[in-house]
Amino acid sequence: MAAPSPLRPIHGAGVTAAGTLPHVQPPITDKEMKQDTIDRTRHWKVIESEYVYRRPWLTARRERLQLPDGRIVPEYYVLDYPEWVNVIAITTEGDFVMERQYRHGAGVTCYELPCGVAEEGETPLQAAQRELEEETGYTGGEWSEVMTISANPGSMSNMTHCFLARGVEKTTSPHLDSTEELTVHLLSRDTVRHLLETNQILQALMAAPLWRYFSLMEKP
């Protein structure tokens, strides 16, 4: 049985007598789809804000908020992180520069894109170029931005800036931080696509730009 369309009323719990879902807007038009649909002007009013935890890699604040209709949210928690970056780096020979490292949160070792954190005063592009060189030793190439995404816009304040670098070359040795432990691998286009299709790119912030690259940006 085919799943019901998410744009049509679903009969059952929460449906009004008229047969429509409450608070559901009509489908957007093709013209509207071509516009920027992200509203960056509507904000909740912050009544109180305090940091409840501040460490180098985790900062959390608790806020008391007022919604546009006047309702009060007594406790809302936001995690503050610096801007994150990652890069799809492709060599002059057409190989993808990938990393493999252990991730303690999930307890797994897996393939990833070169990535890191933007330091104070850096642009996202500068941070991505620095991280690629530090972690892999690859530099140069033709750079473009793939997308800017959020890991969780409901509770995290930062964005992840994803780049594509075509034609990078190995010009130096990696110089890792004292706690970094990773290996660098050159993978073919088909291998990276296979890793995506078999759910072996676990980091969603890396899977997203890779899927976008293969679907929209890959040169024939």
Q: Strands (DSSP E) along 57-95, which ranges?
A: 58-66, 72-80, 84-91
For residues 134 and 173, the answer to whether their CB atoms sit within 8 Å is no
CATH of the domain at 143: 3.90.79.10
Cα–chain-centroid distance for residue 151?
A: 5
- pLDDT given at position 38: 78
Cβ atoms 162, 146 nearer than 8 A: yes
Q: Are residues 199 and 143 in the same domain?
A: yes
Residues 167 and 58 occupy one common structural domain:
no
Flag whether 211 is in a domain.
Answer: yes
172-181's contacts with Cβ under 8 Å and 24+ in sequence apart are: 172/133, 172/137, 172/139, 173/137, 174/134, 174/135, 174/136, 174/137, 175/134, 176/134, 176/135, 180/101, 180/135, 181/101, 181/102
The structure's pTM equals 0.81
Domain hosting 200: range is 84-171+180-217
Q: pLDDT per residue over 133-164, tens digit each?
A: 999 999 999 999 999 999 999 999 999 999 99
User: 134 and 55 share a domain?
Assistant: no
- Count of residues for the chain? 220
Q: What angle do CA 36, 41, 47 make, to 5 degrees?
A: 150
How big is the chain by its Cα radius of gyration, in Å?
22
The amino acid occupying position 115 is C
What does pLDDT average to over the chain?
A: 87
Q: What is the pLDDT of residues 24-42, one digit of tens each?
A: 666 667 666 667 777 777 7
> What pLDDT was estimated at residue 217?
77
The residue assigned the tokens 């070792």 is 109
Lowest-confidence pick of 9-13, 94-98, 147-151, 181-185: 9-13
Q: Does residue 160 contact residue 147 with C-beta atoms inside 8 Å?
A: no
The answer on 101 and 56 residing in a single domain is no
197 with 163, same domain: the answer is yes
